[in-house]
């Protein structure tokens, strides 16, 4: 039984699209900016992304601006305004190509909002910061959430308790009143459990079998099953 709900974003509400088109936009921009061929430009961005993943895995926020800096550091190509231009391209590339909501996700969040259930988003960000993810959610029909916790804004990613605390503060709720829905055991399930929330693992898009991290209180194959946990 939960009075309020918090949701992960990628692979819970939105399909993760590292999209080939957005990737190519970033590559073309970096190649043009630095006078490189496409292949080495793509390799630079790939290594910057790997830095992001390595930091995220140890609980450190690493933004598009950090990735742009990594690219410029590697080829020693800093110039006035360049860091800002590359970072902006990294952040915005996904917008033009769009995202797809997970089946049933928009309907679920709309129905919860209509029923007066407070809902929050707790999202670890990659290339796209919270500012952009808000736009992406609205673009496919999600209503506004009552609170948001984005790792680039909070300063640390899940499973850090600060992410869950920020969302609950925004909802005016205690951990015991909340259930968190997400796909990853290391971040969503372990983080929610440690913060005192009920953890629900949604495996309809990605089934996380990593047994190095705890299993959730409940495992959902479809988002519609969230309703059962809300009403107990």
The string over 180-208, giving b where at least 16 C-beta atoms fall within 10 Å of a residue's C-beta and e elsewhere, is bbbbbbbbbbbbbbebebbbbbbebbeeb
For the CB of residue 79, give the shortest distance to Mg ion in the complex, in Å. Answer: 36
Our CB check for Mg ion shows the closer of 64 and 187 to be 187
For the CB of residue 86, give the shortest distance to Mg ion in the complex, in Å. Answer: 26
For the CB of residue 170, give the shortest distance to Mg ion in the complex, in Å. Answer: 20
d(CA 58, CA 60): 6
Helix (H), strand (E), coil (C) string for 58-110:
CCCCCCHHHHHHHHHHHCCCCCCCHHHHHHHHHHHHHHHHCCCECCCHHHHHH
Our CB check for Mg ion shows the closer of 86 and 192 to be 192
For the CB of residue 184, give the shortest distance to Mg ion in the complex, in Å. Answer: 5
Our CB check for Mg ion shows the closer of 10 and 62 to be 10
Q: What is the DSSP letter of 128?
A: S
Our CB check for Mg ion shows the closer of 92 and 183 to be 183
Our CB check for Mg ion shows the closer of 68 and 126 to be 126
Are 184 and 208 a contacting pair, CB within 8 Å? Answer: yes
d(CA 20, CA 17): 8
For the CB of residue 122, give the shortest distance to Mg ion in the complex, in Å. Answer: 10
Our CB check for Mg ion shows the closer of 118 and 157 to be 157
Our CB check for Mg ion shows the closer of 25 and 183 to be 183
Question: Which alpha helices (DSSP H) does 125-180 contain, by range?
Answer: 130-139, 151-154, 161-171
Residues that bind Mg ion (CB under 5 A): 8, 10-11, 183
Element (H, E) at 194: helix 190-195
For the CB of residue 78, give the shortest distance to Mg ion in the complex, in Å. Answer: 34
Residue 54 neighbours by CB under 8 Å, 6+ apart: none
d(CA 167, CA 6): 8
Are 122 and 7 a contacting pair, CB within 8 Å? Answer: yes
For the CB of residue 182, give the shortest distance to Mg ion in the complex, in Å. Answer: 6
């Amino acid at each position: 039984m939960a009075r309020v709900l918090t949701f992960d974003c990628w692979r819970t509400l939105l399909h993760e699209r590292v999209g080939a088109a957005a990737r190519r936009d970033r590559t073309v921009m970096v190649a043009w900016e630095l006078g490189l061929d496409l292949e080495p430009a793509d390799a630079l961005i790939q290594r910057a992304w790997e830095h992001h993943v390595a930091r995220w895995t140890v609980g450190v926020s690493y933004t598009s601006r950090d990735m742009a800096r990594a690219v410029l550091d590697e080829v020693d190509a800093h110039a006035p305004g360049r860091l800002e231009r590359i970072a902006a391209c990294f952040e915005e590339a996904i917008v033009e190509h769009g995202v797809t909501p997970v089946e049933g996700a928009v309907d679920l969040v709309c129905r919860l909002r209509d029923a007066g259930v407070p809902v929050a988003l707790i999202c670890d960000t990659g290339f796209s910061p919270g500012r952009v993810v808000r736009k992406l959610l609205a673009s496919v029909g999600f209503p506004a959430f009552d609170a948001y916790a984005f790792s680039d804004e909070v300063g640390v990613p899940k499973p850090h308790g600060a992410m869950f605390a920020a969302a609950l503060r925004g909802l005016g709720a205690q951990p015991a009143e909340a259930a968190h829905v997400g796909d990853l055991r290391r971040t969503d399930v372990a983080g929610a459990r440690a913060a005192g929330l009920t953890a629900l693992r949604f495996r309809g898009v990605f089934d996380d079998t990593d047994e190095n991290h705890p299993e959730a209180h409940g495992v959902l194959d479809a988002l519609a099953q969230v309703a059962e946990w809300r009403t107990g």
